[in-house]
Each structure stands twice: as structure tokens, then as C-alpha cells.
Amino acid sequence: MPSKKTVDVKCACCASPFKVSASEIKRGRGRCCSRQCATKHRMEPLRNIHKKPNFVCAYCGKGFYSSPRRTMKSKSKLYFCCREHKDLAARIDGGIKAIQPAFYCTNYRTLAFSLYPHKCNVCGYDKYKQLLSVHHIDGDHSNSIAENLEILCVRCHMEKHLIMGIDPE
């Protein structure tokens, strides 16, 4: 029985040399030295590793690739390499102001509890402070001046929003 002709080849994934039969090469196989390397080699086009960075993370400054279609959704035109960096950038303490929600800019709860007694303005409930909430009288969250805030219990707060016909805070 004739011996198979083998050829020295470098692995397409890890670049280590290995021997493969010439017939496997003719069939379009024999590019990788092991199953693990073959899996990595097959999966690489699916990752964005081979693509050049087209954006810079607004939090860490690292370049990364993202499809242009995916980045069209950014309202602030700031881009992040991962969700963790976006969340860190949106934090109240030391975050990027452009992506913080409007209610982050002014801590109206602290303001209201420093000015008014810790009880519901409607029914007088004062047993647990955690069950008290701050209500914007005119319904505008951006208007956080003291005259527009009142302290209500959860029940009275919901009733006010039902009467006003707006979503609860």
C-alpha cells in the first residue's frame, strides 16, 4: 500500500507548523492544526476583530468597530465600546453630562426633603420616609424649583397622577 504524501503547512489560526496529506489540501481542508483552531478560524469572520476601529469610546478612549447602522441610534452622538462603559458614563458622580437623564442634573428629592417636613402633604402619612415621594406639581420634571415640589405618600402620588392624566414619576 503506497504511503500518503504529506505536506508541511502552517496553521491558519495559530501559525504553528503541522503535516497534512496532499489529498486533504486538494479537497480544501487541512488549513488548521486542530479542531479548536478550526473552530476559532471559522468564527473569526463573525467577530469584528479583523475590522479597523471606526469609533472611539467616549469613556475610555479606546478605538472599536461598530456597524454604522447600529450607531445611527445614538441621540448624543457619543459612542461606547461596551455597555459597562455607557453605564459608567451615565452615572451621577463623575459621568458625562450629555448622556445623563434630565432628572440627574438636579437632585429634587434632596431639595424637597431639606425644605419640607417628612410627611405627605395630602394625608399626613409620616411612618416610613422610604414610602414618601416627591411630586412635581406642574408635571414638568425639568422644573425642579422648590415651589413646584411637594412630598406625597405613594398612594396620594398615584392618585394625583391619575387625576392629572400623566405617567407617574
Residue 1 included in any domain = no
Question: Do residues 110 and 160 both lie within one domain?
Answer: yes
Question: Do residues 84 and 63 both lie within one domain?
Answer: yes
Q: 110 vs 105, 116, 141, 149, 155, CA distance in Å?
A: 12, 10, 15, 11, 20
- Spatial distance between the Cα atoms of 151 and 147, rounded to a whole number of angstroms: 11
Residue 40 included in any domain = yes
What is the tens place of the pLDDT at every residue in 76-132? 788 888 888 888 887 766 667 777 665 555 578 888 888 899 999 999 999 988 889
Residue 169 included in any domain = no
Give the residue numbers spanning the domain of 66: 55-100
Of the listed ranges 5-19, 88-102, 140-154, the least confidently predicted one is 88-102
Residue 113 included in any domain = yes
85-94: which pairs have CB atoms within 8 A and are 24 or more residues apart? Answer: 85/57, 85/58, 85/59, 85/60, 86/59, 88/59, 89/58, 89/59
Count of domains forming the chain: 3
pLDDT at 151: 94
pLDDT at 3: 63
What is the tens place of the pLDDT at every residue in 35-89? 888 888 777 655 555 678 888 998 899 988 887 777 777 777 888 888 888 888 8
Question: Do residues 121 and 154 both lie within one domain?
Answer: yes
Question: Do residues 132 and 113 both lie within one domain?
Answer: yes
Question: Do residues 153 and 110 both lie within one domain?
Answer: yes
Whether residue 18 is predicted with pLDDT greater than 80 in this model: the reply is yes
**pLDDT-based confidence at residue 146 (cuts at 50, 70, 90):** confident
Question: Do residues 91 and 131 both lie within one domain?
Answer: no
CA dihedral 27, 32, 34, 35 (to 10 degrees): -70
Q: Is 30 left (phi over 0), alpha (psi -120 to 50) or beta?
A: left
Question: Do residues 110 and 148 both lie within one domain?
Answer: yes
Question: Do residues 96 and 111 both lie within one domain?
Answer: no
